[in-house]
Amino acid sequence: MNPVSGSRKARWGTYIIAFLITALIFATAFYASNYFNNQRIADIRATQDDISTDILSLETQFDLLQEHSCSDVAENTILPSEMTSLGDQLSYMEAQGSSNQDEVTRLKRLYSILEIKDYLLMQQLAAKCNLNPVFILYFYSNKGDCTDCEKQGYALTSLSETYPELRVYSFDYNLDVGALQTLISIDNVSDQLPAVVINGKVYHGYQSVSDIENILPQLSTLKIATSTAATSTKK
């Protein structure tokens, strides 16, 4: 290319054009990011709607139990992996710290209510239909005041992978949901987190996989996974 030299006198037009292009790139990036986040939220909302409908259907079936067999109802319960997957997606959105945090929190509150409804329904089903579902309620905090919550999450993930029928319900202790606060009150869960509730008894502090297997001998009645899936239980 030909030799070049030029006056160093600033051409302000170049400065302005560069600023406009940079601002446009930033605006496009923020718009696109927001668009994709909204898509994710729409996905989560759709999944929640499905689960909500399934629970409502199940409740209705349960009410009509005298006209149906228990096996019909049990076949239609929500799979634990569906709940876990939804929880993982919400945790991801929360960790991303996107601009839609209010919406994410709303979805998380709804998710907690769905978990509680599923938990109650499964308890009722267990009583009426002689089922033996195994539950763990897990309370965590992600305010930075729970150093062992990450470890506890991994331990529960390990158990979920080993026993796919195990139902682990994870709750953000600090979430402002009336039903959740009632559950916390009923189970006497203090703010010494992490805490797990197993067979109605609360255990504060980190519980390892072997600790939980010892506390919960019913685990041995569950089927063991032949291959583990890549799921995780949020902290």
Q: What x-and-dash track marks residues 211-230 binding another protein by CB under 8 A?
A: -----------------xxx
Smaller CB separation from another protein, 61 or 157 = 157
Buried b / exposed e over 24-50, threshold 16 CB at 10 Å, is eeeeeeeeeeeeebeebbeebeebbee
Cα–Cα distance, 163 to 159 (Å, whole number): 6
Tokens 């940079």 sit on residue: 22
Q: Cα-flanking dihedrals φ and ψ of residue 167, to 5°? A: -105, 110
**Is residue 160 within 8 Å of residue 231, measured between CB atoms?**
yes
Position among 63, 106, 157, 188 found at the interface with another protein (CB under 8 A): 157
**Near another protein in 137-156, by CB under 8 A:** 150-151, 154-155
Shortest distance (Å) from residue 18 CB to another protein: 4
* Beta-strand pair 201-204/195-198: antiparallel
Smaller CB separation from another protein, 19 or 76 = 19
Position among 158, 179, 204, 222 found at the interface with another protein (CB under 8 A): 158
Would you tell me which residues interact with another protein (CB under 8 A)? 1-11, 14-15, 17-19, 21-22, 25-26, 28-30, 32-33, 36-37, 40, 43, 89, 92, 96-98, 150-151, 154-155, 157-158, 208-209, 228-230
